[in-house]
Structure 1
Amino acid sequence: MATPPLLFLLLPLLLFILLQPWTLQLVLSASIVNYLPGFQGPLPFHLETGYIGVGESEDTQLFYYFVKSERRPDKDPLLLWLTGGPGCSAWSGLVYEIGPLNYKIEKYNGSLPKLILNHYSWTKVSNIIFVDSPVGTGFSYSKTSSKNHWNDFKQLNDLFQFFKKWLINYPEFISNPVYITGDSFSGMIVPALCQLISNGIKESTIPSITLKGYILGNPLTDHSTNQNYKIPFAHRMALISDELYKSLENSCQGEYKNIDSNNTKCLKAFQYYQKGSIHEWLRCNHDLGDQYKVDIVSSFQYHVNLSAKGYRSLIYSGDHDMGVPFLATQSWIKSLNYSIVDEWRSWIVEDQVAGFTRSYSNQMTFATVKGAGHTAPQYKQKECFAMFQRWINGKPL
């Protein structure tokens, strides 16, 4: 029987794929979602969900949501998005932050919550893969004990394998510009994953994608120093009195992470500072967060390495975020010691100040989002979309 012409043309490509070191046996488990409970009518965008198995015997199954760009899917950037926590579902990023859907805010009457379109979704100009990671988050699960997977380096390895397999399953996106993105606790994971992928491209252990850089929102960067900036932030925001701030400053000497138990003055002042600051993050797996092993105490060195390689980066902070204060983010950015190419100035959306920004010679842009808290797009969707769209298109904020 004669070989069909199309198959004959594809044989060289198939042979090329089979000979690559990153070729793996794949089992694709994905579904196109046309309807969602709570949303009226068919979805006006392409949503796909599925699992990709990673690890030995694919014991770990990572769940993802993939939304194609509503503009030019074949040309627009591809974002891999990680929600923080650790243990916060990707659904949080998709529905509360940068995805194409929002919950309709109305008085709850016991019926199914309604979903509406987010007109400021980042999928207007980019393709986004939202991943439930680490295992135990959202719909991701392990066939064995998931607790063995609850640490930074295991999460990094799983994500690296996930992205490699995803690209092999979707070769049409290999030529798109790629950005590794996320917020909150993902500030510890995204830079390390970006470096791992960069090394994988060089070593041919991952398809040769066009990795352009990374984006981080309200990013945790250093576990120890982040805590020390919360009290100065609270003082700047007039949340604590001058007298209490002076007492904390004098008795604790700027160290609030590991307070000496013998320092009774510091302990007393710190306890007073903590009334009313306890809250619950309901969209996260708290059991996972409590048992998650932190291997990376600071992601600063990854930023150093990525800057040296010339990758672009956008770092933004809601200026009302006390969990990861913009003061802490500003501090580590300044510590990179790159020269300023665009001095501190306001950036504008619809004739209103949306925040302030500064750019550096390492292609890093820092921006505050005025009036936004933790996970800034949840509070200021229009402004964050304008920021993202300008930056991803290579324009000043």
Structure 2
Amino acid sequence: MARLSSNHSASIFYAYCQIVLPLFVLLLQIFSPLMASGSTVEFLPGFKGPLPFHLETGHVGIGESEEVQVFYYFIKSENNHEDDPILLWLSGGPGCSGLMGLAFEIGPLAFVNQEYNGSLPSLVLRPQSWTKVSSIIFVDLPIGAGFSYTNEKEIVEQSDWTLIHHAHQFLRKWLINHPEYLSHKVYLSGDSYSGIPIPALFQEISYANENGVQPRINIQGYILGNPVTTKHEINYAIPFAHGMGLISDELYESLQQNCGGEYRNIDPKNLSCLRDFQSFQELIAEVDQYQILEPAFCGYDLKMVPQRSILKRSLAEKVEATNTASRCRRHGYLQAQHWANNGCVRKALHVKEGTGRHWTRCNHNMPFKFEINDSFHFHVNLSAKGYRSLIFSGDHDMACSFLSTQAWIRSLNYSIVDDWRPWHVNGQVAGYTRTYSNRMTFATVKGAGHTAPEFKPDECLAMFERWISNENL
């Protein structure tokens, strides 16, 4: 098996790592305080008073001439940042900003969920931030996501492997610029489409460490939530919908008989399967596929899309309307858009001038090449190396359901060391969990959707705190 992509960019990347980086590591470590690309943010527009945590933002230039500028948000652990681990967080999409993880999932800030009235949106503290026990770097990747950009006139086509190589280069250079964190334990994390690049990125870093690339990144494990893995997740949407009572027994049995369990590439000549699948789509058209208990039409088009694009949507931004009801959780997404496009906000975040592209939560209009068909084989390789992993699933997500995740984990064929049982928060069942001999922990989050911490922040913080401390859930 090839250790990296057969893509030519892999060879260029390794030449860069093995020849160029080592020559400058020592020099950069000595002068990094003067060369650090990030700047501390003490005040943020929309937040009252000084920030009660350490936030650093900025761009890191990568590439031979630093033509690629990767934007990041770094938040120090609120516990013991001198010893606590570091998480690198990549949002899904592909094309979603790291601000989504920061402001909607695991960071210390959240937008006030109220109807937009034309004024600058307000921010408040989120008490369930994962920065309670770790430092986190939220990164805008691939290029074209968030505030990351290239000096080229137009964004060239991005791809899975380009994203991976950029993330790898970014992390090594960020650590060089922050030598006080060189020895810290590092975990890679993300959700949704990040289930494709994160395992591959982890493997690339592992191989680079083994080949002596400096600085060595002290990777320990990875964390994935409702991850796209095989790109056949649609095949499990039908049994999920049946189990949740969204489709009838008769339709489910007919789908199984006529389609044989394969719904991603339906034979156009199989009219019986096409008919049944259309009936399925019609029945769940008014259900939010990312959280089936959510109100569906609160400013967003949440209809199930054709099977070939169900995963590529990955929480696609379909609305620019300003009449979203405040009861809709997703109204915060609109608030984020107005906030991040404010000139005072960009100045406070140290966004470089001249990068005036309109900020969107998820940029689905950039050219992107899907090169990795599935990430299963990376999990196989990483399991063999003994790395830790936490895979969790909000159990009310139909797009990347816990059924599909359980299936590929089961296919790894590792023995169970802690069998299926409930885990608890505040004396209540928070979900169910199982641990395997490859040091992989799987957990469901009861009542959560596609981005589980967004729905169940208390439960997800407890889950993360226990796992990162090597405790049983």
Q: 1:272-323 CA deviation, whole Å, 9 max, x = no partner?
A: 21132338622311202xx311111011111111111110000000001111
> How far, CA to CA, are the matches of 1:139 and 1:321 in structure 2?
29
The DSSP-based 3-state class of the residue aligned with 1:64 is strand
Any unmatched runs of 5+ in structure 1?
1-17
Contact map agreement 2:416 2:435 (CA 8 A) in 1: yes
| Aligned with 1:155 (options 149, 152, 163) | 163
Residue 328 of structure 1 corresponds to 404
TM-score, structure 1 normalization: 0.91
CA distance in structure 1 between the partners assigned to 2:59 and 2:279 by the alignment: 47
What residue in structure 2 maps to residue 208 of structure 1? Answer: 216
Separation in 2 of the partners of 1:124 and 1:259?
A: 47
Amino acid at match of 2:116: Y
Given the alignment, which residue of 278, 297, 312 partners 2:304?
A: 278
Report the AA paired with residue 340 of structure 1: I
Q: Which residues in structure 2 correspond to 1:33-112 (within 5 Å)?
A: 33-112=41-120
Identity %: 58
Give the one of 166, 176, 193 matched to 2:184: 176
Q: Does 1:367 align with 2:443?
A: yes
Q: Find the counterpart in structure 2 of residue 254 from structure 1.
A: 261
2:349 equivalent to 1:349: no
Cα distance change of structure 1 residues 22 and 236 upon mapping to structure 2, 3 Å threshold: farther
**Contact 1:21 1:205 survives alignment (8 Å):** no
Match of 1:307 among 380, 383, 397: 383
CA RMSD of aligned residues (A): 1.7
Distance 1:209 1:366, change over 3 A: same
Q: Counterparts of 2:134 and 2:458 in 1: how far apart (Å)? A: 16
Contact 1:135 1:149 in 2 (8 A): no
**Which residue of 138, 142, 151 corresponds with 1:134?**
142
Label 1:22 to 1:388 Cα distance change in 2 as closer, same or farther (>3 A): farther
Tell me whether 303-312 or 98-107 shows the greater mean CA deviation: 98-107
Q: Distance in 1 between matches of 2:378 and 2:93?
A: 20
Give me the TM-score of the superposition, normalised by structure 2.
Answer: 0.77
8 Å CA contact retained: 2:205, 2:217: no
- CA gap of 1:22–1:363, structure 2 versus 1, over 3 A, is farther
Conserved 8 A contact 1:21-1:204: no
Give the deviation of 1:87 after TM superposition.
Answer: 0.5
The one-letter code matched in structure 2 to 1:301 is H
Aligned AA (1:105) = N
- The answer to whether the Cα contact below 8 Å between 1:77 and 1:126 also exists between their aligned partners in 2 is yes
8 Å CA contact 2:47–2:123 kept in 1: the answer is yes
Relative to structure 1, is the Cα distance of residues 213 and 255 closer, same or farther in structure 2, using a 3 angstrom cutoff?
same
Q: Is the 8 A contact 1:22 1:204 kept in 2?
A: no
Q: Which runs of 4+ in 1 moved over 6 A?
A: none
Shift of 1:71: 0.5
Contact conserved, 1:22 with 1:207, CA < 8 A, in 2? no
Name the SS for the 1:74 alignment partner: coil
Q: Which has the higher contact order (CA 8 A, sep 6+)?
A: 2
Q: CA deviation at 1:37?
A: 1.3
Is the 2:37–2:177 Cα contact (8 Å) retained in structure 1?
Answer: no
* Alpha-carbon shift at residue 210 of structure 1 (Å): 2.3
Do 2:383 and 2:438's aligned partners in 1 also have CA atoms closer than 8 Å? yes
- Structure 2 counterpart of 1:164: 172
**Which one-letter code corresponds to 2:270 in the other structure?**
N
Report what 1:234 is aligned to. Answer: 241
Letter matched to residue 257 of structure 2: N
Deviation at 1:145, TM superposition (A): 5.5
SS at structure 1 position matched to 2:168: helix
User: CA separation in 2, counterparts of 1:159 and 1:295?
Assistant: 16
Q: Secondary structure at the match of 1:286?
A: coil
Between the aligned partners of 1:164 and 1:180, the Cα distance in structure 2 is 13
